[in-house]
Structure 1
Amino acid sequence: MATILDGKALAKTMQSQLAEKVAKFTEQGHRPPGLAVLMVGDNPASATYVRNKERACAKIGIATLGQHFPADIFQEVLMDTISDLNNNDRVDGILVQLPLPGSLDSVTLLNHIDPDKDADGLHPINLGRLLRGEIGLRSCTPSGVMRLLGEYDIDLTGKRVVVVGRSILVGKPLALMCLEANATVTIAHSRTTNLSELTRSADVLVAAIGRPEMITADMVKPGAVVIDVGINRVEDEKGVRLVGDVATQDVAAVADAITPVPGGIGPMTVTMLLENTVLSYQRRLGLI
Structure 2
Amino acid sequence: MNIIDGKKISDAKRAEIKERVSKITKETGKVPGLATILVGENPASQVYINSKIKACENAGIKSFHRTLPANSSKEEIISLIKNLNADSQIDGILLQLPLPDNSFAQDCINAISPLKDVDGLHPFNAGLLNLSKNWQELIDKNVLLSCTPSGVIHLLHASKIEIAGKTAVVIGRSNLVGKPLSMMLLANDATVIMAHSKTKNLKEVCKNADIVVAAIGKAKFVTKEFIKDGATVIDVGINRVDGKLYGDVDFESLTNANVFVTPVPGGVGPMTITMLLENTLKAFNNRK
Q: For residue 118 of structure 2, what is the aligned residue in structure 1?
A: 119
Report SS of the residue matched to 1:67: strand
Deviation readout 1:155-208 (Å, 9 max, x if unpaired): 111111000000011111111111111111101011211111111111100000
The alignment status of 1:158 with 2:165, answered yes or no, reads yes
Output the CA distance in 2 between the equivalents of 1:159 and 1:255: 17
Deviation readout 1:116-166 (Å, 9 max, x if unpaired): 100101111101000111532011111000011001111111111000000
Output the CA distance in 2 between the equivalents of 1:23 and 1:158: 38
Contact 1:14 1:271 in 2 (8 A): yes
Contact 1:159 1:184 in 2 (8 A): yes
Identify if the C-alpha distance between structure 1 residues 165 and 252 changes in structure 2 by more than 3 Å, giving closer, same or farther.
farther
Runs of 4+ in 1 over 6 A off after TM superposition: none
Output the CA distance in 2 between the equivalents of 1:112 and 1:39: 16
Deviation readout 1:18-50 (Å, 9 max, x if unpaired): 111111122234221110100011100000000
Output the CA distance in 2 between the equivalents of 1:256 and 1:30: 47
Q: For residue 25 of structure 1, what is the aligned residue in structure 2?
A: 24
Contact 2:35 2:92 in 1 (8 A): yes
Report SS of the residue matched to 1:167: coil
Output the CA distance in 1 between the equivalents of 2:150 and 2:256: 27
Written as runs of structure 1 = structure 2, the 5 A alignment for 1:51-66 is 51-66=50-65
Residue 103 of structure 1, CA deviation: 7.0
Structure 2 unaligned spans of 5+: 133-137
Residue 281 of structure 1, CA deviation: 0.7
Q: For residue 70 of structure 1, what is the aligned residue in structure 2?
A: 69
Report SS of the residue matched to 1:65: strand
Find 2:146's aligned residue among 139, 154, 158. 139
Output the amino acid matched with 1:139: S
Q: For residue 192 of structure 1, what is the aligned residue in structure 2?
A: 199
Q: For residue 88 of structure 1, what is the aligned residue in structure 2?
A: 87
Contact 1:225 1:255 in 2 (8 A): no
Output the amino acid matched with 1:188: A
- Provide the aligned C-alpha RMSD in A: 1.2
Output the CA distance in 2 between the equivalents of 1:121 and 1:245: 24
Output the CA distance in 1 between the equivalents of 2:7 and 2:129: 26
Report SS of the residue matched to 2:94: strand
Residue 101 of structure 1, CA deviation: 1.2
Report SS of the residue matched to 1:98: coil
The alignment status of 1:245 with 2:248, answered yes or no, reads yes
Q: % of aligned pairs identical? A: 46
Report SS of the residue matched to 1:32: coil
Contact 2:168 2:192 in 1 (8 A): yes
Q: For residue 257 of structure 2, what is the aligned residue in structure 1?
A: 254
Report SS of the residue matched to 1:175: helix
Report SS of the residue matched to 1:163: strand
Deviation readout 1:86-139 (Å, 9 max, x if unpaired): 111111000100110127611100011001100101111101000111532011
Residue 253 of structure 1, CA deviation: 2.4
Deviation readout 1:237-268 (Å, 9 max, x if unpaired): xxx21110000121242242000100100000
Q: For residue 187 of structure 2, what is the aligned residue in structure 1?
A: 180
Output the CA distance in 2 between the equivalents of 1:274 and 1:173: 18
Residue 283 of structure 1, CA deviation: 2.1
Q: For residue 135 of structure 2, what is the aligned residue in structure 1?
A: none
Contact 1:220 1:255 in 2 (8 A): no
Output the CA distance in 2 between the equivalents of 1:23 and 1:152: 27
